[in-house]
Amino acid sequence: MMGKTFPCGSFILTNFLFFLPLGIMATAMWARESQFDDKLPPFDIYNMWNSSERVHFTGACAILCEKTACAGFFYNAESKECILTKAVPLLAGIYASGFRYYSKMQFRACPANANNLLHEQSGTCFMLSDNRQTWVKAKDTCQQENARLAVLDTTDKEDFLIEFFRSGNLSTADCYFIGAHRPYDKWNTTLPPAHDYIWLNGNPVVKSPQHWAGSEPNNINTRENVIFIWHHPTDGWTFGDVREWDRSRYICEFSLYENINALASGGM
């Protein structure tokens, strides 16, 4: 960040998816859990509901799963066996050629208001905050909303947000934390390259020259350990690094399609 002064307003707190071809009969979305390919857990572990149902295609098995409110199903395209489960199995189990497991995804709408943005290509809802918090507090707040600080680890998501900011709809006095930080063991680096930063999902931050101010990230006084979007005096809306205890607005995100078991465990 250029200089030592926080530039953003006041410090005061103010895996594979498929849709069913028979859309009129089924409304869920399903994720294939590849760790269970060619495997079946022991019978008494995954509490299956239908052990010998036979149907002619994967979608038909999915429809059966919807009708019984199951969490997922095993399907074998060769034997036509459809096995419904109450929960995603925890153990891969024994070899069973041809079986594939699909877990149910839950649809979550992106609330329609001025602070929310829908990125249709990735199925991501971005929520821009009205208040200012530290980076850690912002991360916690997003988690309480069953979301996370925005992870812009694809070019599409990065371009989408930056173009929105550059459209002129927001005050240039504000800044927004996103979900990237430097691990604690990197804090003593004087001028870290961008790949020293990671997203909350563990992926490295790759610096896109068109979206970063020329000197960023510059780690002023070795104290700037998180990433935000801010309005640079000459480069406009860009990414930069800043201190985690400064207070800023922030951007949460969530996927429109979430695994029901991940929701139950608080994951994303």
Q: Is residue 218 part of a domain?
A: yes
- Residue 252: its pLDDT value, please? 96
- Residue 126: its pLDDT value, please? 95
When computed from its CA atoms, the radius of gyration of the chain, rounded to whole angstroms, is 22
Q: Are residues 178 and 260 in the same domain?
A: yes
Q: Is residue 125 part of a domain?
A: yes
- Residue 134: its pLDDT value, please? 95
Domain boundary among 37, 72, 106: 106
> The domain containing residue 128 runs over which residues?
116-265
- In tens, the pLDDT along 247-266 reads 999 999 998 876 544 433 33
- pLDDT higher than 60, residue 218: yes
Measured between alpha carbons, how far is 177 from 171 in angstroms, rounded to an integer? Answer: 15
- Residue 40: its pLDDT value, please? 80
Can you give the CATH number for the domain in which 77 is found? 3.50.4.10
Q: Are residues 222 and 248 in the same domain?
A: yes
- In tens, the pLDDT along 82-124 reads 888 877 776 667 788 999 988 877 778 888 888 899 998 888 9
- Residue 48: its pLDDT value, please? 57
Q: Are residues 91 and 125 in the same domain?
A: no
What pTM was computed for the model? 0.63
- Residue 113: its pLDDT value, please? 84
